[in-house]
Structure 1
């Protein structure tokens, strides 16, 4: 019986890790989407962390540390790409591939 429990645990561990990675990547993509929205709303780059915080994000607080790191990448994109492309979806896809 113990042997079966160990096998079930070992089989579930990669699945749990995969789900955790999906959730992490989704939170990162949510951060990118919030920054993209700030840019669309014409928020100055230096004011993005405050603007995103004011939007009451639903991700865990530790993801707020990524905002100053991701903001320059979003703000260097051409405005036509900001209007037409889903940067969050692109980020999610790349994140999941890693």
Structure 2
């Protein structure tokens, strides 16, 4: 959970486009989590996650790529059964919006 809070704090402190709302920022963060979760499901090695996600051409602003190395360990610490069955991005979005 500490990593979750740290990554959210880093992203919220990063310079963002003036039109970006907290809700949009949290959604981008949740999209990052979903991409990492998919990488885990695709059996991408943890150290290769940033490159694997970059190859997919994500549509979030580039500054959110900085969160990938911060969030990846959290996703990879989860039990595989939870990664398969739980929506980690929805959990992230909910926590982010509460901050």
Could you tell me how far 1:45 is from its partner in structure 2?
Answer: 0.1
The yes-or-no answer on 1:42 pairing with 2:43 is yes
What is the alpha-carbon distance in structure 2 between the residues aligned to residue 82 and residue 54 of structure 1?
21
What is the alpha-carbon distance in structure 2 between the residues aligned to residue 95 and residue 67 of structure 1?
16
Could you tell me how far 1:36 is from its partner in structure 2?
Answer: 0.1
Q: What's 1:68 paired with?
A: 69
The CA RMSD measured in Å over matched residues stands at 1.2
Could you tell me how far 1:60 is from its partner in structure 2?
Answer: 0.3
Q: What's 2:3 paired with?
A: none
Q: What's 1:23 paired with?
A: 24
Q: Secondary structure at the match of 1:35?
A: helix
Under a length normalisation based on structure 2, what TM-score does the superposition of the two structures give? 0.80
Q: What's 2:95 paired with?
A: 94
Structure showing the higher helix proportion among its residues = 1
Alignment: residue pair count: 81
Gaps of 5+ in 2: 1-17
Q: Deviations over 1:41-67 (max 9, x none)?
A: 000000000000011100000000000
